[in-house]
Amino acid sequence: MAKLREHVGDNFVQIGFVDMWEMFLVVLVRKEDHPFVRGVRSSSIALGVMNVVGNKGGLLLEFSIYDHVISIMNCHLLSGAFKGEKRSD
């Protein structure tokens, strides 16, 4: 986080963070926009070994700002052209 803060400067506030093993999402907003952020929520789903290990799966961060709902999702799924059916389990 220190490197991220060094890169964006002091004008931003962290409103959300969710992580799972080697994946993470962090959401920053400008300080002047922070009072207008509402309803920050996060969730994650692990789909790795036995649907427990977090090396595969997804992360979600949702919030509203200025009455607009924003959803940010990150996922790391099974690779390979012929593994689509396993991705949807």
Q: What is the pLDDT of residues 19-75, one digit of tens each?
A: 888 788 999 999 999 999 999 999 988 887 777 676 788 899 999 999 999 999 998
Looking at residue 50, its pLDDT comes to 73
More confident call, 64 vs 4: 64
Quote the CA–CA distance of 70 and 30 in Å, as a whole number.
Answer: 15
Does the pLDDT of residue 81 top 80, yes or no? no
Nearest-angstrom CA–CA distance, 67 and 36: 8
Query: How many separate domains does the chain show?
Result: 1
User: What domain range is 48 assigned to?
Assistant: 2-87
| Overall pTM > 0.85 | no
Distance CA(68)–CA(56), nearest Å, equals: 30
Neighbouring-strand partners of residue 55:
none
**Could you tell me the end-to-end alpha-carbon distance of the chain, in angstroms, rounded to an integer?**
34
